[in-house]
Amino acid sequence: MTEQTVTVFVNARVVQVPAGATALDAVRAFDASEGEAYAAGTRGVTDSRGLPIAAATPVHGGAIFRLVSARAGRTEDAE
């Protein structure tokens, strides 16, 4: 059985992640060091509208994520 993947965009680059992945997983697939910075809180991520999102946010097909400074990407429930 083939694992299903979801296509998302991180900084305008196509990234394939497994179904059920999180925003953090997508960033790690884009760039491992950026993913670690996001996990550590030194980088943030916004959605296509520019709203900050938590690392645990589930991805969906066509989701658009942008890496930002940690200050710009803060959320109340960020992990």
78 belongs to a structural domain: no
Mean pLDDT across the chain: 90
What CATH number does residue 58 fall under? 3.10.20.30
The answer to whether position 59 is within a domain reads yes
| pLDDT given at position 78 | 44
State which residues form the domain around 34.
5-69
In a domain, 76, yes or no: no
- Tens digits of per-residue pLDDT, 36-74? 999 999 999 999 999 999 999 999 999 999 999 987 555
Q: What is the pTM of this model?
A: 0.84
pLDDT > 90? residue 30: yes
More reliable by pLDDT, 76 or 40? 40
- Tokens standing for residue 37: 């910075």
Number of separate domains in the chain: 1
**Which three-class secondary structure state does DSSP give residue 21?**
coil
Task: Work out the average pLDDT over 7-36.
Answer: 97
